[in-house]
Chain A
Amino acid sequence: MKLSARLVAVAAVLATAACAPQTSGTSSSDKDEKTGTLRVWLFQEVNNKPKEQAVDSVLAAFEKAHEDTEVTVEYIPVETRAQRIKAAFNDPESAPDLIEYGNTDTAGYVKDGGLADVTEEFAAWDEAKDTDPTARQSVTVDGKVYGAPYFVGVRALYYRTDVFDELGLDVPRTQAELISTAKEIRAAKPGMYGIAVGGAYTYGAMPFIWAHGGELATGKAGSYASAIDSADAREGIEAYTSLFGDDNCPAAKCAGMGGNDTVTAFASGKAAMAIGGDFSHAAVDAGKVKGAYAVVPLPGVEPGSIAPAFAGGNNLGVLKSTSHRTLAVDLMKRLASKKAQGELFDGMGFLPTFSDVRQQVAAKEPFVKPFVETLAADTKFVPASPAWAQIDSSLVLPTMFQEIVSGKKDVATASQDAAKKMNEAFGSAG
């Protein structure tokens, strides 16, 4: 027993000598070198070649403008981006100077102390005045700008033209019509979902809540409060969850579906409608329904109105730890410039973040018209709070929708529970 006493003593000594767990020392770097190598991380897309070409032409011009400067670009896989970027924050020595990041991550990365404040440079940038307001909001935290919007992604209503013609249906002009049309199709074609919806498809459900005047949260950075249990939001939740059932999309199958599942169901011909993004175009065209579908903006509550959509997309940001700040900011502006975004659209179909450039590309490519219309009407963004990452990853909203559609809770109880969880997250993460 003497032995274990000794062990305990050793452990006690270790414990008292212990300091806090490891923390990476740095915040911002004081150096601002004007030559050398600039490291850039961009996301690896499914078909990446056109993106590389669009980026390479920007890099060539950049390297010509800055002597003795070299840029190395690494395309990182989207699935593991979170770990890579966290690792970059932890180890400034091997971190890149400029990164592409998902726009819902902005507030979290700012809180982590990873992104540099570029408010002054952004304000002085002549092209920035045409950036659309929601895109600007997606790089802004507490009134400061932490990057440049790179492209936006937005969702609209895909529908089967052949099915609508066969059943003599009109394209729905309100959400009420959307719901009744979906049920009509299901009644006529029992093997098909009227509209494919998913209990885990948060960004497909949000337009219903926003269209009814609801909000995810109200307030501003640092003092958000959930509004998901407000009367307006509940109406939207009610509308969306009424689509789950044997008369449209059976809960047993649809409760667990996410966004990709609904698009897959539509592409394989199992659904007459679906809410898909401009980025879902290729996936749908690869399925059975190629050539037999069209896209319109998702209708709002009033006839002819458009439901506010979630403005997803990616931003470019300079890391706080960079030792080439001026160069990195310049490269960021060049990559996110009107010209470069136009080229990125030509290659990849990603929608530009500048309202005027977007109008130009819509004229060139009719497919993007409904998406551009949606963006022009009204778009919303998730709360600019680091708590959003926590709310998102702990599946607060999918859980709420699933509780309702599986009959475990009614709309009021489920939305109150979700609001409570959201407020806890806002309370702990700000």
Chain B
Amino acid sequence: MTAPTKSRPVDRARLPVIRGVSRSSPPSRGSSGTPWLYLAPALVVLGGLLAYPIYQLGLISLFHYTQAQVSGGEPTTFEGFGNYAELFADEQFWQVLLATVLFAAACVVCTLAVGCALAVLLTRVRAVPRLALMLAALGAWATPAITGSTVWLFLFDADFGPVNRVLGLGDHSWTYGRFSAFFLVLLEVVWCSFPFVMVTVYAGIRAVPSEVLEAAALDGASQWRIWRSVLAPMLRPILVVVTIQSVIWDFKVFTQIYVMTGGGGIAGQNLVLNVYAYQQAFASSQYSLGAAIGVVMLLILLGVTLVYLRLLRRQGEEL
């Protein structure tokens, strides 16, 4: 969205909104309340569905709020930042946070790599293999996380799993070691989240004019070079969306860890923030501590997203 030209009627329809926000519209544009009137329905819905729950989350995190308070057994007391202090003083919280960040980063990188590679592959193969790949990916996408996790766990089962049999590993246990357990979960996470990336990027590639690609090919560019210098820049808005989506999704992973490592692995070695929050807070009804963890996660994700957008902006790109 660059500076609008005033001549075309199509642009005029959305002008007031843009102007209203940027506060630079000439006074002739009618009252300043009009754009807010148009925005009101969306704002009400967003406010109701997003702002209010977040406000409640933040509020609860400042109180001592357990089941006893909810059901009226004990009075609610204001704690200030007590829950946060308790959380930050917990050594395990920092370990889990670090593990979560690294694990999510690995998942995002792998998901994007696999998704983009297969999207490019989709454009290069004939109709039948393309359909087969598409169906396989959609199947993985449509599989509920619990089912997917259970199936992957079975594939790698120490006694009955086909993977051990094929690789001749005897009764090697994949979930015992910290890294091997994380690796197993990573495979499942990538498996169930690459289709979204693949389908989105594939749609993006399809929208790239074929002349551009043809020109690059005629100039003798390799597949990799075409991706790096032509496709990736043109697909940037799409890649931004799938990256942010993957970051958020992988940071919040719960089911896979909970199911595949039996609630956090041997001695909690595979805990991620969401499972940790569940164990520490929600399973024992310490809602205020859980809310504090929720707020911390929200801030981290918000921070990551903002930094990412900022970096892109600095490179001179607009979303």
A21, B63: Cβ atoms closer than 8 Å: yes
A393, B283: Cβ atoms closer than 8 Å: yes
A3, B72: Cβ atoms closer than 8 Å: no
A253, B56: Cβ atoms closer than 8 Å: no
14-72 of chain A: CB within 8 A of chain B: 14, 18, 20-27
198-250 of chain B: CB within 8 A of chain A: none
Q: Which of B96-104, B171-179, B300-308 lies on the face that meets chain A?
A: B171-179
B73, A253: Cβ atoms closer than 8 Å: no
Measured CB to CB, the closest approach of chain B to A19, in angstroms, equals: 9
A276 within 8 A of B: no
B268 within 8 A of A: yes
A406 within 8 A of B: yes
B71, A24: Cβ atoms closer than 8 Å: yes
Task: Select from chain B the residue with minimum beta-carbon distance to A18.
Answer: B59
Which residues on the B side are within 8 Å of A2 (C-beta)?
23
154-189 of chain B: CB within 8 A of chain A: 158-159, 171-173, 175-176
Query: A27 to B284, alpha carbons, bound, how many Å?
Result: 21
Query: A112 to B65, alpha carbons, bound, how many Å?
Result: 11
Q: Which of B108-116, B126-134, B259-267 lies on the face that meets chain A?
A: B259-267
Contact of B72 among A26, A199, A200 (CB under 8 A): A26
A276-294 CB mask vs B (1 if < 8 Å, else 0) is 0000000000000000000
Contact of A25 among B59, B72, B171, B173 (CB under 8 A): B72
Query: A27 to B74, alpha carbons, bound, how many Å?
Result: 10
Which residues on the A side are within 8 Å of B76 (C-beta)?
20-21, 23
B55 within 8 A of A: yes
Q: Assuming A24-B72, A390-B286, is B266 touching A256 (CB within 8 A)?
A: yes
Q: Assuming A113-B72, A390-B284, is B23 touching A256 (CB within 8 A)?
A: no
Which residues on the A side are within 8 Å of B73 (C-beta)?
27, 89, 111-114
Query: A114 to B283, alpha carbons, bound, how many Å?
Result: 18
Measured CB to CB, the closest approach of chain B to A114, in angstroms, equals: 6
Measured CB to CB, the closest approach of chain B to A343, in angstroms, equals: 33
Task: Select from chain B the residue with minimum beta-carbon distance to A88.
Answer: B71
Which range holds the interface residue count of chain A? Answer: 35 or more
A199, B266: Cβ atoms closer than 8 Å: yes
A90, B71: Cβ atoms closer than 8 Å: yes
Which residues on the A side are within 8 Å of B280 (C-beta)?
394
A251 within 8 A of B: yes
Contact of A256 among B60, B78, B176 (CB under 8 A): B176
A14, B55: Cβ atoms closer than 8 Å: yes
Task: Select from chain B the residue with minimum beta-carbon distance to A26.
Answer: B72
Contact of B284 among A18, A256, A394 (CB under 8 A): A394
Query: A25 to B56, alpha carbons, bound, how many Å?
Result: 19
Query: A199 to B262, alpha carbons, bound, how many Å?
Result: 11
A256, B262: Cβ atoms closer than 8 Å: yes
Query: A111 to B68, alpha carbons, bound, how many Å?
Result: 6
A202 within 8 A of B: no
A27, B72: Cβ atoms closer than 8 Å: yes
B282-296 CB mask vs A (1 if < 8 Å, else 0) is 011110000000000
199-216 of chain A: CB within 8 A of chain B: 199-200
Which residues on the B side are within 8 Å of A389 (C-beta)?
284-285
Query: A394 to B56, alpha carbons, bound, how many Å?
Result: 25
Pick the 9 closest A-B CB pairs, nearest first: A113-B73, A89-B71, A393-B283, A402-B267, A390-B284, A252-B173, A252-B176, A393-B284, A403-B267
Q: Which residues of B contact A (CB under 8 A)?
A: 21, 23, 55-56, 59-60, 63, 65-74, 76, 78, 158-159, 171-173, 175-176, 261-268, 279-280, 283-286
Task: A113-B72, A402-B268 given; name 7 further pairs at CB < 8 Å.
Answer: A21-B56, A21-B76, A86-B67, A108-B285, A253-B176, A394-B284, A403-B267
